[in-house]
Structure 1
Amino acid sequence: MIEDKVRLEFMGDQALLLRLPEDVPIETGEALDRLLSLRAALLRELEGVDGIEDVTMGYRSVAVYARFEDVAPEDLLARARRAVRSLRSLAAPRTIAGARVHLPVVYGGDFGPDLDEVAERAGLSPQDVVRLHQEGVYRVAMIGFSPGFAYLIGLPEALRVPRRATPRSRVERGSVGIAGFQTGVYSFATPGGWQIIGRTPVALFDANRASPSLLSPGDVVRFEAVTEEEYHARFGAYT
């Protein structure tokens, strides 16, 4: 059982990390399904416990951030072990449904300066790149790099091209990029090395929203091609 191989280790005096074995595949979504089930089990075990600050997911791990002056590390460890044991009865990890989000994208041109390069590397036309990228059904594996930046798995095999050899010093907010088996949207203007094929007007992070990050692990994302005119007419500035 994979659950028997989950590694538990403290991250100093800030968190407890639960890590899946390295042989659990990320690209297929198996790691994501197991981590979503593990996070749900952890949240049940930790309900009402003082000192718990956050429970976050990575590609292969779940971290429980806590104030150890309010919750004893031994108690946290015991609860985490119970959460892991509770999953052993599952024949296979459950797929936990998240929110479904559609993101409009202007592909190519100034909005997607790497579209032609991606097409050349993939041996496709730019139109085929756009079509395949829209046809993908993506799942949020984790949030990281910058607030609201979602790492999405589910990119079609034909579009899996490497990062740029030389990263850009600035990638505009809303830029849609590809890197290996991942696609994602830049939530802020930052340096970056992903291949940029388009841009969305939808804000991935807004501190004024009740939930600042638009996306969460397990959410399902689809992309929809729009023209530059539609981009401005329908959405104006960032929503």
Structure 2
Amino acid sequence: MTGNVTIADCGDSALVAKAVGLDAEPAWRLVHALADALDAVRLTGVHDVVPTYDALLVEFDCAATDHATVRRVLAHEAARLGPHPAPTTPPRRFVVPVVYGGEYGPDLPEVAARLGLSEGEIVALHSGTDLTVRCLGAPAGAPMTDGPPFPKPVPRLASPRTRVDAGSVAVAGRQAVICPMPSPGGWPLLGRTPVRVLDLHSDPITAYRPGDTFRFRPIEPQQWDEYAELSLADCHG
């Protein structure tokens, strides 16, 4: 253990660094600062660094490096950063247009009923505050954000859908997400954005990164075509 970070082997070609002894917010900041620091080192053999809420997965080519080398660098960077590192990258803000309800958000009525609120109140809460991207999930770098300030967690669907359209805006538990590409899914759908979430011709393919914020902006269905040619990168500001 180094300071507030434990480091453990994860199979023959990965390590997991976990923040311990910290509240949720500083733990999240620490693992993401550690991920940025390891990326900056460009350690030979390391090919993926995946930060989550309180842990960091470091994957490497075991023919090019080993657990001991990666562990040593991780421990050094964790000690250098300390428990409360300063942010290294200013967060960006994205204003994301969303059509709520109807065919775009078929679960809006059920979510409202479960929470004892009107559909309008659900939309107002979901679109009324900036939500921080906490990590990138599946599929394809889906932005996992804080959930809106609902009075209680939202349960997942009893029967997951076999297909969720790209751009679908979903909530579950205390989290929210935009589905970046068609995929199965079990989270209730509140709406859908017409903008492209991914740009497969860019590197990286996502315009956002952990620490950035989303503010959802309700639009009417007849406004869909006004935004359909835009990507999420065009919504920065």
1:222 aligns with one of 215, 221, 231: 215
Q: Which position in structure 2 is the counterpart of 1:15?
A: 14
> What letter corresponds to residue 205 of structure 1 in structure 2?
L
SS for the counterpart of 2:3 is helix
1:17–1:63 contact (8 Å) kept in structure 2: yes
The answer to whether the aligner puts 1:104 opposite 2:97 as a matched pair is yes
Structure 1 residues 40 and 236 mapped into 2: Cα distance closer, same or farther (>3 Å)?
Answer: closer
The answer to whether the aligner puts 1:236 opposite 2:235 as a matched pair is no
Q: State how 1:122-133 maps to structure 2 within 5 Å.
A: 122-133=115-126
User: 1:59-81: CA deviations, max 9, x gaps?
Assistant: 22112222232234322111111
Q: Which position in structure 1 is the counterpart of 2:171?
A: 178
2:4–2:22 contact (8 Å) kept in structure 1: no
> What letter corresponds to residue 42 of structure 1 in structure 2?
L
Q: State how 1:156-175 maps to structure 2 within 5 Å.
A: 156-158=149-151, 160-175=153-168
User: 1:139-175: CA deviations, max 9, x gaps?
Assistant: 1111112102111014213263111122112111111
> What letter corresponds to residue 7 of structure 2 in structure 1?
L
Q: Which position in structure 1 is the counterpart of 2:62?
A: 68
The answer to whether the aligner puts 1:41 opposite 2:37 as a matched pair is yes
- Equivalenced residues, count: 230
Q: Which position in structure 2 is the counterpart of 1:80?
A: 74
Q: Which position in structure 2 is the counterpart of 1:148?
A: 141
Q: CA RMSD in A?
A: 2.2
1:208 aligns with one of 187, 201, 206: 201
| Distance (Å, rounded) in 2 between the aligned partners of 1:238 and 1:188 | 15
Q: Which moved more, 1:159-168 or 1:76-85?
A: 159-168
Runs of 5+ consecutive residues of structure 2 not aligned to the other structure: 232-237
2:44–2:65 contact (8 Å) kept in structure 1: yes
Q: Which position in structure 2 is the counterpart of 1:118?
A: 111
| Distance (Å, rounded) in 2 between the aligned partners of 1:87 and 1:207 | 34
TM-score by length of 2: 0.87
Q: Which position in structure 1 is the counterpart of 2:53?
A: 59
> What letter corresponds to residue 114 of structure 1 in structure 2?
D
Q: Which position in structure 1 is the counterpart of 2:185?
A: 192
| Distance (Å, rounded) in 1 between the aligned partners of 2:115 and 2:2 | 38
Identity of aligned residues (%): 31
